[in-house]
Amino acid sequence: MKKIIPTETRKQEIFATSAKLFKEKGYSAVTMRDLAQTLGIKAASLYNHIHSKQEILSHIILSIAEEFTEGMTQILNSKESSIQKLKKIIILHVEITSNNSNGMASLNNDWMHLEEKQDYYLELRLNYEDNFRSIIKQGIASNELKAVDPDVTLFSILSTLRSLYLWIPKKEEINKDVLAGNLGEVLLDGINK
């Protein structure tokens, strides 16, 4: 009796496996044969589930980007201190990265290989950074944060949060809340005694 996998499940499996391979070698270096072989099928069979390699990349990156956009919107609408908003942003990154660390690699490193959807992705990213920066500026204005160059602060925190995908998979034993807490300490309070 032949094992039949429903298309929708197979499609999710293709996205997940692709993200894993894209993280290891990057979008351009992963061939449809690599992907098929990892899934235990032939390359041609992939096209019964997806239309193109580009569609895979598009789905991986944009689904995460929209998740970040949604999270940022909720944080902006919450009536809390700037420090609390920054902590919520840290939690947002830990949460999304924990659930999809492979996809985060594509979002960080392979967005430039997006074709039709690249402009849309860049728009989401720019808006996200603008909102992030506005929270930092608000924190400085309300005297919660030190008056360091907001761009340096944004760059520093965001660089760390964007690199979480490299680090979280190696720290599986650690609790997400503990990690977010430690990151909040280091990123907000510093390490100098």
Q: What string marks each residue from 84 to 113 as x (binds DNA by CB under 7 A) or -? A: ------------------------------
CB of 44 or CB of 152, closer to DNA: 44
The span from the CA of 84 to the CA of 99, in Å, is: 23
The span from the CA of 144 to the CA of 121, in Å, is: 32
The span from the CA of 17 to the CA of 50, in Å, is: 13
Torsion of CA 145, 148, 150, 156, to 10 degrees: -100
Q: In the complex, which residues of this chain contact its own copies (CB under 8 A)?
A: 24-26, 28-29, 83, 109-110, 112-113, 136, 139, 143-146, 148-149, 151-153, 155-156, 159-160, 162-163, 166-167, 171, 179, 182-183, 185-193
Smallest separation, CB 113 to DNA (Å) = 11
CB of 10 or CB of 180, closer to its own copies: 180
CB of 113 or CB of 176, closer to DNA: 113
CB of 33 or CB of 171, closer to its own copies: 171
Using alpha carbons, list the distances in angstroms from residue 100 to 90, 96, 163, 164: 15, 6, 13, 11
Contact indicator for 28, 113 with CB cutoff of 8 Å? yes
Residue of 16, 36, 62, 122 that binds DNA (CB under 7 A)? 36
**Structure-block tokens of residue 117:** 């959807």
Find, among 141, 13, 154, the residue nearest to 86 by Cα.
Answer: 154
| Span from 47-55, 66-74, 84-92, 98-106 in contact with DNA (CB under 7 A) | 47-55
- Residues at the interface with DNA (CB under 7 A): 4-7, 10, 30-34, 36, 40-45, 47-49, 51-54
